[in-house]
Structure 1
Amino acid sequence: MTITFLGTGTSQGVPVIGCHCAVCRSLDYRDKRLRVSVHLATQGKSIVIDSGPDFRQQVLREGIEQLDALVFTHEHKDHTAGMDDIRAYNFKQQQDMPVYAEPRVLEQLKREYAYIFAEHKYPGVPQVQTIPILDDTTVFDVQGVPFQPIRALHYKLPVLGFRVGGFTYVTDANYLGPEALEQMRGSEIIVLNALRHEPHISHFSLQEAIAVLEDLAPRRAYLTHISHLLGRHREVEATLPDFIRLAYDGLRVEISS
């Protein structure tokens, strides 16, 4: 499996509009963070988890010419605002795009993208096949690839992370219950959100994320959904345990399963 980080930033991205802090002024390419998203190439399939407002820019940058499915963690706009751009894949692949999400999230997408789901569609709108994730404990199939849902809380909002083989991806969370932690345990690679140093109402702080990862002890771990308040990539990464790194946009990692 090849994992590509399409975006590793928080909802505002980095740099933040109008901000002149050291991170937002940094010339280090690793400090330029688009909204969070990840691409998986596995078992001959191309799958994206979350299509935020930077989706078009991200897939063009990475040269992703095929997309077999789109999977959503939750309904917040920084994770869904790019869904319209699947039109290019509809045209190229001549088929509807399978979209996987919890029923609540699918209902939100139908409200926000009413023109996609209208009875009488305008020519050229995205074509989707919605597939509800009905059980947050049972493995489901994404175009032949097994996905284990991981239940987390984003403040009081239930969200999903996913485990695919030895890879686990959890973003926009500040609580993982005992069952979720056990589902993640044994992963070779874990990706977890770490917004900033200070506690936050709906995201893990850096120290909270480190504590979770030290307990789970994967071979490798990467932090994502990073804000400018965390600090410059080079300086923060130097303080981390050896097995934990900061993800950055365009980072590509390989895993055997």
Structure 2
Amino acid sequence: MDDMMTITFLGTGTSQGIPVIGSNHPVCLSNDPRDKRLRVSVLISWKNFNYVIDCGPDFRQQMLTNSVTKLDGILFTHEHADHTAGIDDIRPFFFRQGDIPVYAHKRVIESLKIRFDYIFADEDRYPGAPAVKVTEVVNNKTIPLGGLQVIPIEAFHNRLQVFGYRFNDFIYLTDVKRVDENEMNKMMGAKVLVVNALREEAHHSHFNLDEAIAFAKRVGADKTYFTHISHLLGFHEEVEKKLPKNILLAYDNLQLKI
């Protein structure tokens, strides 16, 4: 079906990933592949289009694992390194396709221009450096992508503004601690919600498990998948057994069809 959308979870871990370097935590020593989590990112595919949300330090590995040969653009949630540090690895796509479209809040674009100036340079470009085509994401203004109108959803990561995105019946939010009431209306009627659930203990800038469950119930999607998961949440298999009906833990390389 032409209107079928495929969601691939490229990474479902926190900024350190799981296992954490040098950690003897039982979850970091787990042999369950679902307990091994790369930095958080998702691939959304429909028709002949491939868009990713965020490209962290595991981006190259994620593209190879999932045999992605074409990239139509990257949407950024915010500027933190675990969501942006892999941008240099767009080079193979750039060599084949030309400038790679990126979509982000103005503040995020300014941050990327400082940290990756050679990618965003207008002139005196280093030979072999990739280049991007920048579109500023503005709240309440839809983004036309591959025949869809993608809706930005504004949320807050402690005091930092972050964007989530709604692609038809699919919503992706990460690094969220607060969503204002006027943004909740943008999420009603969705079939699949993805949102962060860091750990059981409270955190200053992320939903913990109880907050994520409460948020999922407010949105009321047919199914909710938790992502941006810390080793402190526990073993995938044990945590998922305790979750309410229709709420699940995402894991790396999980694919959904919507």
Q: TM-score range by the shorter chain?
A: over 0.9
1:26 corresponds to 2:33: no
Aligned to 1:214: 217
1:97 corresponds to 2:78: no
**Superposition TM-score, scaled by structure 1 size:** 0.96
Aligned to 2:185: 182
1:59 corresponds to 2:63: yes
Aligned to 2:194: 191
The 3 A distance-change label for structure 1 pair 80 and 224 is same
Aligned to 1:249: 252
The aligned amino acid for 1:9 is G
Asked if the contact 2:95/2:130 (under 8 Å) is kept, the reply is no
Deviation, structure 1 residue 112: 0.4
Aligned to 1:106: 109
Deviation above 2 Å: which 4+ runs of structure 1? 142-145
Aligned to 2:226: 223
Paired with 1:146 and 1:45, the residues of 2 have a C-alpha distance of 14
Aligned to 2:145: 142
Deviation, structure 1 residue 143: 4.3
Aligned to 2:11: 7
Paired with 1:81 and 1:142, the residues of 2 have a C-alpha distance of 24
The aligned amino acid for 2:132 is V
Paired with 1:121 and 1:139, the residues of 2 have a C-alpha distance of 32
222, 234, 237: which one pairs with 1:234? 237
The 3 A distance-change label for structure 1 pair 106 and 143 is farther
**Superposition TM-score, scaled by structure 2 size:** 0.96
Deviation, structure 1 residue 142: 2.7
The aligned amino acid for 1:86 is I
The aligned amino acid for 2:187 is M
The aligned amino acid for 1:46 is N
Which deviations, in whole Å up to 9, do the C-alpha atoms of 1:52-89 show, x marking residues without a partner?
A: 00000001000111101111010001000000011100
1:155 corresponds to 2:158: yes
The aligned amino acid for 1:82 is G
The aligned amino acid for 1:212 is F
Paired with 1:195 and 1:42, the residues of 2 have a C-alpha distance of 29
Stretch moving more, 25-34 or 177-186: 177-186
Aligned to 2:207: 204
Asked if the contact 1:47/1:68 (under 8 Å) is kept, the reply is yes
Stretch moving more, 178-187 or 236-245: 178-187
The aligned amino acid for 1:234 is E
Paired with 1:205 and 1:91, the residues of 2 have a C-alpha distance of 41
Which deviations, in whole Å up to 9, do the C-alpha atoms of 1:182-232 show, x marking residues without a partner?
A: 111110000010000011000000010001111222111100000000000
The aligned amino acid for 2:9 is F
The aligned amino acid for 1:171 is T
The aligned amino acid for 2:53 is I
Aligned to 1:69: 73
Q: Which runs of 5+ in 1 are unaligned?
A: none
115, 119, 128: which one pairs with 1:116? 119
1:16 corresponds to 2:20: yes
Q: Which runs of 5+ in 2 are unaligned?
A: none
Paired with 1:186 and 1:114, the residues of 2 have a C-alpha distance of 41
